[in-house]
């Protein structure tokens, strides 16, 4: 456990990607099985210990130290695991026990009942030092937040043992922690795992931003970029799974889609929710509601009959990767497109439709078509090289995404909260609002991205010097700071008093030149819903 704790500590304070890859690689090379397998499960977010949640940890620490002290410390530190690791009192009677290993921790917490899990965790915390407690708590809750993505961890494994990272991704979801067969393959002691009759995830092909580039439509096909979530649907041996772009299994959230896909194949498409009066029917290439409607179904482990009826899902299919066991990914896009068009009649037309190719004479004509797209579910345009194979990740020159220009609004900062990770010492998360006709300022969104480190320090200083009230970790500030907020789209929202919600808000610039009274009104935002 000590080595894993040291790894997490080093990763937390390391910003270089290459340095992080080396840290993870060194750990994997020097740590025996099954500890390194459980560590990979923790780093990739695949470790789930159901008996330990944040509420359990808070109850444990508040039974041992002054709850007010804990909450004040948590607000200052910005991370529950770090706060508890530092505040946890040493046991009255020193614990005489050998050092814990990751596998011991996982085995015990997985085997005990939910009612016994808190006591088991407390016992392990008693026999750990602060660094080990931090690692233990992070691992137990499954929320590391140390600046390491699942892809980065898999890349480190692949580079350390001379494997192809896409090959690792390909088999990852057919394996279970602690990945004994994976490490046997990595060290040349076993065959490459090829899970038979398991619907495994294949890495998505991704696109670069178009920026100022112009392309020849004789070489590139154009499709609409729809504002849903990218999914891969796999059916093998009677099993169907839906995977998100990050490889997460989202089948439980969309049983209506899984139940309608019973063809031995793997497809790539955009998961959307049907909407009335949204640019035509499914057959006409429209029919999609805004992302706000889809959001009602995301992240749910069970979906009620009412939810299925109120927010019916469908998939707009982009590509065909596997057809009845035949891998098509090496074929050029034009050939895969022809196979996809022939494949579509095998699918339920009420749940699946084909992403239409945009007809335009040349790039200038495409610019006109893109500028005239008013469907709220359209995020932009995709440009796909006609001879491109389907390859995982981003490959230069093959696919481009040409997003619609963002909408902007001048908003007033209302509240600020500390960030997490390396931003835990700064007020970096800002809630902002716009004015009503009666002069009331109502929240319309929250953002924490888009600013430089220098701008972050400036805004943090503003928050500290202009605090009106404190509500736990949140500070209410003087309503004088105007932020220009960029966002992809705006939607009606019953959850917000303002009645509107922004999609992907980020800070475009700090408007120190603009008085707060001249910030935008909510009526202006509402017109963006009607227009966009």
String of b and e for 499-511 (b: at least 16 CB within 10 Å)? Answer: bbbbbebbbbbbb
The answer on 128 and 73 residing in a single domain is: yes
Counting as low any pLDDT under 70, the low residues of the chain are 195-197, 276-286, 374-376, 421-422, 530-532
Domain range holding 25? 2-141
**Domain end point (choices 403, 430, 458):** 403
CATH code (residue 464) = 2.40.50.140
CATH number at residue 16: 1.10.3260.10
| Domain contains 391 | yes
* Structural domains of the chain, count: 3
pTM above 0.75, yes or no: no
Instruction: Give pLDDT, residue 378.
Output: 85
Is the residue at 175 inside a domain?
no
Angstrom distance (rounded) from CA 504 to CA 450 = 11
Distance of alpha carbon 281 from alpha carbon 299, whole angstroms = 27
Same domain, yes or no: 442 and 365:
no
Distances in whole angstroms, Cα of residue 272 to Cα of each of 51, 245, 301, 355, 532: 34, 14, 18, 12, 18
Q: Are 437 and 523 in contact (CB under 8 A)?
A: yes
pLDDT digits (tens, 9 = 90+) for 356-369: 999 999 999 999 99
Same domain, 218 and 117: no
331 and 470 share a domain? no
Same domain, 24 and 82: yes
- Do 319 and 435 belong to one domain? no
Buried-exposed string 262-279: b where 16+ CB fall within 10 A, e elsewhere? ebebbbbbbbbbbbeebb
DSSP 423-455: GTTSEEEEEEEEE-TTS-EEEEEEE--S--HHH
| Residue at 484 is within a domain | yes
Give me the pLDDT at residue 212, please: 80
- CB within 8 A of 232, min separation 6: which ones? 201, 202, 204, 242, 243, 266, 267, 268, 321
Tell which of 124, 141, 158 closes a domain: 141
CA distance 290 to 525: 16
377 lies in the same domain as 466: no
Q: What is the pLDDT of residue 32?
A: 95
Phi/psi of residue 288, nearest 5 degrees: -100, 135
CA contacts within 13 A on the Cβ side of 50: 6
Residue 485 confidence (pLDDT): 94
Q: Is residue 179 part of a domain?
A: no
What SS3 class is residue 52? coil
Domain membership of residue 157 (yes or no) is no
Pair 324, 379: CB distance under 8 Å: no
Asked, for residue 311, whether it belongs to a domain, the answer is: yes
250: domain CATH number is 3.30.470.30
Residue 37, in any domain of the structure: yes
pLDDT, residue 141, reads 84
Contact between 100 and 8 (Cβ < 8 Å): no
Domain end residue (candidates: 141, 168, 195): 141
Say how many C-beta atoms besides its own lie within 10 A of residue 190's C-beta: 13
- Same-domain status, 287 and 230: yes
Say if residue 428 is in the same domain as residue 507: yes
198 is a domain residue: no
Identify whether residues 356 and 492 lie together within a single domain: no
- Determine the pLDDT at residue 278: 43
Looking at the structure, tell me whether residues 475 and 342 fall in a common domain.
no
| 483 and 375 part of one domain | no
Q: What is the pLDDT of residue 366?
A: 94
């Amino acid at each position: 456990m000590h080595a894993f704790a040291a790894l997490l500590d080093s990763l937390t304070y390391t910003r270089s990607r290459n340095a992080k890859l080396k840290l993870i690689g060194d750990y994997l090379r020097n740590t025996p099985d099954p500890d390194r397998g459980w560590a990979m499960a923790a780093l990739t977010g695949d470790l789930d210990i159901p008996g330990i949640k944040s509420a359990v940890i808070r109850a444990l620490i508040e039974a041992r130290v002054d709850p007010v002290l804990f909450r004040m410390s948590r607000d200052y530190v910005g991370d529950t695991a770090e706060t508890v690791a530092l505040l946890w009192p040493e046991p009255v009677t020193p614990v005489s026990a050998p050092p814990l290993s990751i596998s011991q921790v996982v085995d015990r917490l997985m085997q005990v009942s939910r009612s016994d899990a808190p006591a088991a965790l407390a016992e392990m915390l008693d026999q750990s030092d602060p660094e080990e407690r931090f690692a233990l708590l992070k691992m137990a809750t499954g929320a590391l937040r140390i600046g390491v993505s699942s892809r980065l961890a898999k890349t480190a494994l692949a580079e350390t043992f001379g494997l192809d990272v896409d090959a690792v991704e390909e088999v990852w979801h057919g394996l279970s922690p602690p990945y004994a067969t994976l490490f046997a393959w990595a060290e040349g002691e076993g065959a490459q795992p090829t899970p038979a009759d398991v619907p495994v995830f294949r890495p998505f092909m991704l696109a670069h931003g178009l920026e100022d580039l112009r392309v020849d439509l004789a070489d590139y096909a154009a499709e609409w970029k729809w504002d849903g979530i990218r999914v891969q649907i796999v059916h093998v041996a009677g099993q169907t799974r839906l995977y998100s772009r990050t490889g997460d299994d989202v089948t439980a959230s969309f049983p209506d889609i899984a139940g309608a896909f019973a063809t031995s194949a793997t497809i790539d498409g955009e998961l959307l929710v049907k909407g009335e009066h949204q640019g035509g029917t499914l057959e006409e290439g429209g029919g999609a509601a805004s992302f706000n409607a889809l959001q009602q179904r995301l992240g749910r482990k069970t979906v009620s009959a009412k939810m299925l009826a109120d927010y019916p899902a469908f998939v707009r299919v982009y590509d065909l990767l596997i057809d009845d066991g035949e891998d098509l990914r090496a074929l050029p896009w034009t050939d895969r497109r022809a196979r996809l068009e022939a494949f579509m009649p095998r699918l339920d037309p009420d749940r699946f439709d084909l992403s239409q190719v945009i007809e335009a004479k040349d790039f200038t004509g495409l610019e006109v078509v893109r500028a005239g797209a008013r469907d709220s579910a359209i995020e932009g345009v995709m440009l796909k090289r006609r001879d491109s194979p389907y390859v995982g990740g981003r490959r230069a020159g093959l696919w481009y995404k040409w997003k619609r220009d963002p909408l902007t609004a001048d908003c007033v900062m209302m509240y600020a909260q500390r960030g997490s990770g390396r931003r835990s010492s700064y007020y970096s998360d800002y809630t902002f609002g716009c004015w009503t006709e009666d002069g009331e300022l109502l929240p319309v969104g929250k953002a924490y991205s888009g600013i430089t480190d220098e701008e972050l320090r400036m805004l943090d200083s503003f928050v500290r010097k202009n605090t009106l009230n404190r509500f736990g970790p949140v500070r209410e500030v003087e309503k004088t700071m105007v932020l220009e907020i960029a966002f992809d789209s705006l939607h009606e929202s019953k959850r917000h008093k303002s009645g509107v919600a922004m999609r992907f808000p980020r800070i475009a610039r700090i408007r120190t030149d603009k008085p707060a009274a001249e910030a935008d009104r909510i009526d202006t935002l509402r017109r963006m819903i009607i227009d966009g």
